[in-house]
Amino acid sequence: MENSISSIGLTRRFGKVNAVENLDLAVRSGAITAFLGPNGAGKTTTIRMLLGLVAPHAGTCEVLGFPPGHPLALAQIGAMVEAPSLYDHLTGRENIEITRLMRNESRSEADRVLSLVGLAQDSNRPVRGYSLGMRQRLGIALALMGKPKLLVLDEPTNGLDPMGIHEIRDLIRRLPSETGVTIFLSSHLLAEIEQVADDLVVIHHGRLRFQGPMAALGTAGPAEITVRVDDLTRASDYLASQGFTARIDRDRLWIQGEQSEAPHIVSSLVGAGIAVFELVPHRVNLEDRFLALLEGE
């Protein structure tokens, strides 16, 4: 199946609010697709419609080839919408066991999902002692029970500290190659999904603003390189004297230029006695591009 999720003209209102309006989705099978939009953009409402939890007012959608909420689709979807509901007084493994027994899965399935999310070592500790990131990973383990074809995650990193975000990001990145699952995850922060997603769907005020490969978002605008150095002002002045366009933003220097110019930039800076700690090429400033999309470019 080429697309795991597709919709045409999907629409849902709440009173006078058009939560989702005329949404055409095409989510590729086997990929990680990020569903991005600011708070209130309509992400959760869309996900709820896809899972059959909310009825659309107009439009149609198919998930894994079935209408939303169809038992044959739901049996192949693992979903974590909002925080997972866990029994705090039980261990991670006991929480998993409850779902395993309810779903009549084999004993080895508990071990498989616990090790997939990196909780095998901590599985015999009570969940009350888990960090938020560990709780989210346990929620994802529950969603992975029974080898779903599609994993739907609604803001899986919401409220997590940087360490927790890193853990979830690593996990999401590994899952498609290790299990073949298609991932559809929502987020309101581009920075969070930038290194994870293959494809991107951007909505704002319920309307589609962009849909396509992550790389296509970055094809407009100049390429940039960021560097971290010991003396930002001196580096900026020096590069300007060499004909580069550079600006300081917080602890980094943003230089207009292609990746192929990186060696020249580093050797120039080092030659001028400036220590270079880090250099990262960016095809464009994705954050700017994303904000431009939201402003209705």
Rounded to the nearest 10 degrees, the angle between the axes of helix 132-144 and helix 92-102 is: 20
Minimum CB separation of residue 152 from ligand ATP in Å reads 13
Cα–Cα distances in angstroms (integers) from residue 76 to residues 23, 66, 192, in the given order: 23, 11, 27
Out of 5, 42, 204, 235, the only residue in the binding site for ligand ATP (CB under 6 A) is 42
Out of 23, 36, 43, 68, the only residue in the binding site for ligand ATP (CB under 6 A) is 43
Out of 5, 10, 19, 232, the only residue in the binding site for ligand ATP (CB under 6 A) is 19
What type of residue is 297? E
**Closest CB to ligand ATP among residues 19, 214:** 19
* Binding-site string for ligand ATP from residue 175 to residue 194, where x marks contact by CB under 6 A and - marks none: -------------x------
**Closest CB to ligand ATP among residues 4, 45:** 45
Contacts of 135 (CB under 8 A, 6+ apart): 83, 84, 86, 127
17: contact with ligand ATP by CB under 6 A? yes
Minimum CB separation of residue 11 from ligand ATP in Å reads 12
Tokens of 61: 């959608």
Match 């049996």 to its residue by tokens.
75
The string of DSSP codes covering 85-100 is ---TTSBHHHHHHHHH
Q: Are 98 and 107 in contact (CB under 8 A)?
A: no
Minimum CB separation of residue 296 from ligand ATP in Å reads 17
Minimum CB separation of residue 13 from ligand ATP in Å reads 9
215: contact with ligand ATP by CB under 6 A? no
7: contact with ligand ATP by CB under 6 A? no
Q: Are 258 and 194 in contact (CB under 8 A)?
A: no
Number of residues that bind ligand ATP (CB under 6 A): 12
37: contact with ligand ATP by CB under 6 A? yes
Burial of 86 (0-12, 13-18, 19+ CB in 10 A): middle
How far apart CA 29 and CA 152 sit, in angstroms, is 13
Out of 1, 9, 14, 163, the only residue in the binding site for ligand ATP (CB under 6 A) is 14
**Closest CB to ligand ATP among residues 42, 139:** 42
Minimum CB separation of residue 47 from ligand ATP in Å reads 8
Minimum CB separation of residue 42 from ligand ATP in Å reads 4
> Considering only residues 57-116, where is the footprint of ligand ATP by CB under 6 A?
none
Burial of 286 (0-12, 13-18, 19+ CB in 10 A): middle
Cα–Cα distances in angstroms (integers) from residue 17 to residues 114, 198, 207, 285, in the given order: 41, 31, 12, 32
**Closest CB to ligand ATP among residues 37, 164:** 37
Out of 5, 41, 64, 239, the only residue in the binding site for ligand ATP (CB under 6 A) is 41
Minimum CB separation of residue 148 from ligand ATP in Å reads 22
**Backbone dihedral angles phi then psi of residue 226, each to the nearest 5 degrees:** -105, 145
How far apart CA 287 and CA 67 sit, in angstroms, is 35
Minimum CB separation of residue 81 from ligand ATP in Å reads 10
Contact set with ligand ATP (CB under 6 A) = 14, 17, 19, 37, 39-45, 188
